Amino acid sequence: MSALTFRTADRPDVAAVVGLVESAYRGDSSRAGWTSEADLLDGQRTDVETVTGIVTAADREVLLGFVADKLIACCELQARDGDTAYFGMFAVVPTRQGGGIGAQVLAEAERRAAARWGAQRMEMTVIGQRSELIEWYERKGYERTGEIRPFPHGDERFGLPRRDDLEFVVLAKALG
């Protein structure tokens, strides 16, 4: 397992983040890993405008993970109401998935959310049809909250669904 170094993304990192996220979730390149959504969605996963908005917001950040100065992972963190932080836009280079990098990023994200915003709880949404991914998060201590949120069908910023039953399952974990 490779040890990662971390830093928060800045504007010059936006294009690299978009490229990493797209490679991990969409198209044939994503099929080299196990987190691909290519069988569920076509189109984009994110774009420059969205990532720029995250990088420049006071209550959000993109955490970058590097091995030997090469970007191989990222995630979004966002302060939410009360003591909750949101975790999303999680991506690892497809050919590096399955080697413990994701677990390192998730642990660092939890640590940073607690340190930066005093978060006592981390929340995320996962496409409900992604049972293997949900099970991975459950092994990391996340639990289904019972809440289901609608997928934004018709909003191409989130992709073009290949099926009409997509929905988000909300997972959460107490931090600390």
CATH code of the domain containing 162: 3.40.630.30
Query: Is 73's pLDDT higher than 90?
Result: yes
Total tally of structural domains belonging to the chain: 1
- Tell me the C-alpha distance between 126 and 15, whole Å: 24
- Give residue-wise pLDDT tens across range 27-45: 777 787 777 787 888 888 8
- Give residue-wise pLDDT tens across range 79-104: 998 899 999 999 999 999 888 999 99
- Tell me the C-alpha distance between 125 and 133, whole Å: 11
- Domain carrying residue 80: 5-174
pTM above 0.85, yes or no: yes
